[in-house]
Amino acid sequence: MLEQGVPPPVVARRLRVSRKSAYAWHALWSGGGVEALRSKGPSGPPSRMKPEWRAWLDEALEQGPAAHGWVQRWTLPRIALLIARRFYVRFSTAQVSRILHKMGWSVQVPVHRAAERDPQAVERWMRQVWPTVERRCGTRGRG
């Protein structure tokens, strides 16, 4: 659009961006052409998590937590500790979450029910107790 002579305010309106962005793009384009508008990649320092580490981590996660000394499911702090033990690099849980997301892993909580669950007690509670609780929360009176 800039090459076609469309003014920055019109570019901003058509692309639904701020005028400031359109003017910044115009300044870049007039100084260096289309090449100046190309993305320079993500900002910030490169990840400390090396590709070969990701391959190892993927295999380790597939093995399950029991193979690494935990009886229960994976958690972000456990995965961070696993990485730290293997590669001597500490990542925050937020960083571990981003790494796992980039690797294609998602947060999942297994569906399970307590072995002690009594379906008749649950049904009785739903019939007798829940209606009173629900009513009390939904009413509004003068206070």
45 in a structural domain:
no
- What are 94-141's pLDDT values in tens digits? 999 999 999 999 877 666 667 777 889 888 988 888 888 766 555 555
Residue pair 60/82 in contact by the 8 Å Cβ criterion: yes
30 in a structural domain:
yes
98 in a structural domain:
yes
Q: What's at 114, amino acid-wise?
A: A
65 in a structural domain:
yes
Half-sphere exposure at residue 135, Cβ-oriented, CA atoms within 13 angstroms: 6
Q: What is the pTM of this model?
A: 0.52
Q: How many domains are there within the chain? A: 2
Could you identify the residue written with the tokens 């019109």?
10
Which domain does 87 fall in, by range? 51-102
Q: Which residues contact 11 (CB under 8 A, 6 or more apart)?
A: 1, 2, 17, 22, 25, 26
Residue pair 96/61 in contact by the 8 Å Cβ criterion: no
132 in a structural domain:
no
Angle at 92 between CA 59 and CA 81, to 5 degrees: 45
27 in a structural domain:
yes
82 in a structural domain:
yes
- What are 51-91's pLDDT values in tens digits? 999 999 999 999 999 999 988 889 999 999 999 999 999 99
59 and 32: one domain?
A: no
Report whether pLDDT(143) > 80. Answer: no
